[in-house]
């Protein structure tokens, strides 16, 4: 069994997708062993509690820097013998200590088709506002390994989603979650736990 930690900051809809996948045996033998929130009171912690998964709060505001919270996080992950770290709506940009401790074992979901609308400052509804302002006809979601560069790690999977003329940031966000994020993220975690994701340079080889 691969031990999984899911990192969150808000409502936890992607966490719920992972919980639902786990309930139907869809995480490839992996198990969510802890949910860690960088914000106290995040509803994601309620989702974890309802699923019987331990929750932990590491408030970003309690640390002087992103590096400080990263070091504390790695210590917590190692103490729990975590194998895979999944960023599911986590709003903290962690520093190199996390990647060094978990090479090719930190997965993030981003609500756009990287390299479009990504990098520092591109998160949440802001990403969808950018897509609508730019006038793209397609957006979507990307699941990728985390590297030292924000949203710059090797891409595992992408799914395009049509942008409608009447879309608002909220409606586009909802459709991308439903049609892409909630599908791609559990699939990526499942394949990682099955040993089917191999990284060669900047390329992820997905095995059967």
> Of these residues, 110, 128, 144, 191, which one is catalytic?
110
Tokens of 39: 């914000």
Contact indicator for 152, 127 with CB cutoff of 8 Å: no
Q: Rounded distance, CA 98 to CA 153, Å?
A: 13
Nearest to 202 by CA among 126, 134, 144: 144
Q: Active site includes 144?
A: no
CA distances from 146 to 67, 111, 154, 155, 208 (A): 15, 15, 8, 9, 23
Taking the C-alpha atoms of residue 13 and residue 183, their distance in angstroms, rounded to an integer, is 12
Distance CA 46, CA 176 (A): 23
Q: Give the CA distances from residue 83 to residues 57, 101, 104, in Å, rounded to whole numbers and listed in that order.
A: 19, 10, 10
State the catalytic residues: 110
């Amino acid at each position: 069994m691969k031990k999984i930690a899911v990192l969150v900051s808000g409502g936890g809809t992607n966490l719920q997708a992972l919980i639902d996948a786990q309930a139907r045996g869809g995480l490839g033998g992996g198990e969510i062993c802890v949910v860690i929130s960088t914000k106290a009171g995040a509803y994601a912690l309620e989702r974890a509690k309802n699923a019987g998964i331990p929750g932990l709060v590491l408030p970003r505001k309690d640390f002087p820097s992103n590096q400080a919270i990263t070091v504390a996080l790695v210590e917590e992950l190692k103490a729990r013998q975590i194998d895979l770290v999944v960023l599911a709506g986590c709003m903290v940009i962690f520093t190199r200590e996390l990647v060094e401790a978990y090479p090719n074992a930190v997965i993030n979901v981003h609500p756009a088709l990287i390299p479009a609308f990504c990098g520092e400052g591109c998160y949440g509804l802001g990403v969808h506002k950018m897509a609508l302002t730019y006038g793209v006809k397609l957006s979507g979601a990307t699941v990728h390994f985390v590297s030292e560069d924000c949203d710059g790690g090797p891409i595992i999977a992408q799914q395009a989603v049509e942008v409608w003329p009447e879309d608002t940031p909220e409606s586009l966000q909802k459709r991308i979650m439903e049609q892409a994020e909630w599908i791609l993220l559990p699939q990526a975690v499942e394949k990682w736990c099955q040993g089917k994701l191999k990284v060669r340079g900047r390329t992820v080889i997905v095995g059967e």
